[in-house]
Structure 1
Amino acid sequence: MIRGRATPYLYLLPAFLVYAAFLLYPLLRSGQFSLYDWPGFGPSEFVGLGNYAALMGDRRFLAAILHALILIIFYSVLPLVVGLVLAAVLRRGRVRGLGFFRVVIFMPQVIALVVVAVAWYQIYSPRGLLNAVLELVGLGEFARGWLGDPTFALPAVGMVGFWLQTGLVMLLLLAGMNRISNDLYEAARLDGAGPVREFFSITLPSVRGEIATALVLTIIAALKTFDLVYVTTSGGPGTATTVPSYEVYNRAFNLKQVGSASAVAIVLTILVFVINVFVSRIGEEKEVRR
């Protein structure tokens, strides 16, 4: 009887051991390191919550958190809005070659982020494609070194995230829309509903689960952004594009502040967890109400 009850857990044990070895253990060690003032080698000094207290008054860290929250707009909010519109149009229009279009839209997701970063670095450079196009259409006065401008550097990085995530969001929403029964739309048309009314009364409520999933995935991507920032701007100019993930790297390997870097990593983990639990709960509540 005991063996029978334990059998499911025995099947799960190998996966749990891998999960514990590569996620839980490093997380616990990071929590331990965050309690010490340690340069990464040699002796360390126990400071308790001192590293966390120091972060609360650290302008660079607070700026990194703010930048990460701004990137959520580019990685999550804008792709969700555009993805909803594109998915609704594609479903309603029954576009030919939709399979090929899906592959093209999803392509940014399968390209290595370093490759994406290098490509966009070239596009944004003073002699890059973007400035060349602006010159071509007579808007040369708007040309600039986009990644070297403190005002436009973060939005420029954010637009790369928007390009990356829109295809993923659109495909998730399109998959959700394709499972909606056509009978609902036919009944709505018989009642005199137009395309806009159909969208808000039928389509949008039916894909709330997919919306929640898309938000969770894109918010995680926004908050853990590192490759893109490291390759394109290295957190600059100044601290205009520094983000928490880059701060972890910078403090650990450049400043030799492993304790502080670990504290940033723990705070980022908690932030990701809280935001996504909140988003997931909203999605679950709305699903239940349906």
Structure 2
Amino acid sequence: MAPRRAAARAAARRRILRGWLFSLPALIAYCGFVIYPLILGIQYSFYKWNGVGPSEWVGLANYIRVFTDETLLASIGNAFVLIAFFTIIPVASGLVLATLIRSMKPGPFSSLSQTILFLPQIIPLAAAGIAWSWMYAQTGAVNQLLNAVGLGFLARPWLGDFQTALPAVGLIGSWVLTGLCTVLFLTGIGKIDQSLYEAVRLDGASWWREFVTITIPGLRQEIAVLVTITIIAALSSFDIIYTTTLGGPGRATLVPGISIYRIGFTQSDVGLASAFGIVLMVIVLACVLPIQRLARANDR
């Protein structure tokens, strides 16, 4: 028995060693492209540096400026507003659309609807932003449609209006992310035991009760994943804003990603840009980690 145990332990050690060897390249790449830049960013955040000349130690001055500068605080506020468009609307719409598509009979229309809904997800965000900026123009498709249905009094330069610029940009994010939410929810609904639906229908339950008591509880993991992804997309948004408004008009659509870009590359203040980037990372973690913890707690 002893030789067998020794052989089993040796085999287990070999498997562990092979696992480490196989994962070593990925670990090296992760450290080189994620951990090392993060450490450098933290280091730079304590200095005043233009990226070329000598640096000057300023301690926490950059972080204090992040939390006292009205422009930077306004960009954080705009990012939280975008959560309503990047998270709430796509997740809610995806739930409803997935339920409706799932209730259809399998066929060409069902497959075509899934493909159409997912198409925005595979379009580069920069291209989507450019296309929507044309549609939002004074003579663009949105205003032409409003004029065609007798709502011409609502027409305006949507991205140039202080009141509508941020919601208009947010709706682009909703359009892009709704397809991803729908497809993932469709996959999740397919894993729910169909006998649960049959039992509820035998009890004479309505569509709404079936949706609330069976579908939503069965999609807890998918909801947690999508809320996490979309919140990160809202707080770190850059491509859509850059290609549509560049943070304007004024600072109506200014978000942390644009602020960091301006501070680092236009104002050449690498220290402040790094500090703002670290603050943004902490904000993202503070929003995402409780969601993940809650999702794991509900599965126990």
Could you tell me the TM-score, scaled by structure 1's length?
0.96
Q: After superposing the two structures, state which structure 1 stretch, 274-283 or 148-157, moved more.
A: 274-283
Match of residue 210, structure 1, among 222, 234, 241: 222
1:245 deviates by 0.8
Partner residue in 1 for 2:115: 103
Secondary structure at the residue paired with 2:198?
helix
Match of residue 65, structure 1, among 76, 94, 98: 76
Larger radius of gyration: 2
1:272 deviates by 1.4
Distance (whole Å) between structure 2 residues aligned to residue 56 and residue 267 of structure 1? 9
Alpha-carbon displacement from aligned partner over 1:122-171 (angstroms, at most 9, x marks no partner): 00111111111111112111111111111100000000000000010011
Partner residue in 2 for 1:171: 183
Alignment of 1:81-96 (within 5 A): 81-94=92-105, 96=107
Secondary structure at the residue paired with 1:147?
coil
Please report the RMSD computed on the Cα atoms of aligned residues, expressed in angstroms. 1.3
Distance (whole Å) between structure 2 residues aligned to residue 91 and residue 266 of structure 1? 42
Secondary structure at the residue paired with 1:279?
helix
1:6 deviates by 3.5
Quick check: 1:279 aligned with 2:287? no
Secondary structure at the residue paired with 1:235?
coil
1:279 deviates by 1.2
Distance (whole Å) between structure 2 residues aligned to residue 99 and residue 129 of structure 1? 28
Q: After superposing the two structures, state which structure 1 stretch, 53-62 or 90-99, moved more.
A: 90-99
Residue 42 of structure 1 aligns with an amino acid whose one-letter code is G
Secondary structure at the residue paired with 2:163?
coil
Quick check: 1:151 aligned with 2:160? no
Moved over 4 A (4+): none
Partner residue in 1 for 2:237: 225
1:96 deviates by 3.1
1:283 deviates by 1.4
Secondary structure at the residue paired with 1:48?
coil
Could you tell me the TM-score, scaled by structure 2's length?
0.93
Distance (whole Å) between structure 1 residues aligned to residue 64 and residue 205 of structure 2? 57
1:277 deviates by 1.1
Alpha-carbon displacement from aligned partner over 1:246-274 (angstroms, at most 9, x marks no partner): 11100011111111111111111111122
Quick check: 1:49 aligned with 2:40? no
Partner residue in 2 for 1:32: 43
Gaps of 5+ in 2: 1-9
Match of residue 34, structure 2, among 3, 23, 27: 23
Distance (whole Å) between structure 2 residues aligned to residue 103 and residue 192 of structure 1? 33
Aligned length: 288
Distance (whole Å) between structure 1 residues aligned to residue 167 and residue 220 of structure 2? 28
Residue 62 of structure 2 aligns with an amino acid whose one-letter code is N
Distance (whole Å) between structure 1 residues aligned to residue 228 and residue 127 of structure 2? 24
Partner residue in 1 for 2:251: 239
Alpha-carbon displacement from aligned partner over 1:28-59 (angstroms, at most 9, x marks no partner): 11111111011111111101111001111111
Secondary structure at the residue paired with 1:185?
helix
Alpha-carbon displacement from aligned partner over 1:162-188 (angstroms, at most 9, x marks no partner): 000001001111111111122111111
1:3 deviates by 5.4
Distance (whole Å) between structure 2 residues aligned to residue 200 and residue 130 of structure 1? 35
Secondary structure at the residue paired with 2:243?
helix
